[in-house]
Amino acid sequence: MKAVIQRVGNASVSVAGKKIAEIGQGLLILLGVSENDTQDDILWLSKKIANTRIFNDANGQMNKSLLDMDGDAIVVSQFTLQASVKKGNRPSYLKAAKPAVAKPLYIDFIKQLETDLSKKVQAGEFGADMKVSLLNDGPVTLLFDTENKI
């Protein structure tokens, strides 16, 4: 499971011209599910994202987590994070989980993040053509990969 998290001043997701999710200060989380991901990956990734200290404290130092600041989150499914670009010019998506596997893990991730944050998490629409708008704050952008969690 891979996640790109972006610290945002605000973010929103629209499908077919209709806004379906919107947050203020917090994290935009792009989530790519692989064919080998498990519930253990969800638990690790959710906890890591909720507790990673990338928000400024009163001294302007990145010492606060999303959990500390009671920030908001939007999770957007993005299978292209699982792309391999090693050969040729066309990305290969063989490692990306098929929708029947990916969608339940995506939903489980959102539920786990809600549990870890003790609040509702906004979400994109799985499999939809989405338009994502954001005001990147910093910018601060991190990549998490559950294959590299040790």
Please list the active-site residues: 78-80
Distance between CA atoms of 130 and 70, rounded to whole angstroms?
26
Rounded CA Rg of the chain: 15
Distance between CA atoms of 135 and 5, rounded to whole angstroms?
13
Distance between CA atoms of 143 and 104, rounded to whole angstroms?
22
Listing DSSP states for 14-35 in one string gives EETTEEEEEESSEEEEEEE-BT
For residues 29 and 49, the answer to whether their CB atoms sit within 8 Å is yes
Measured between its terminal Cα atoms, the distance across the chain in Å is: 14
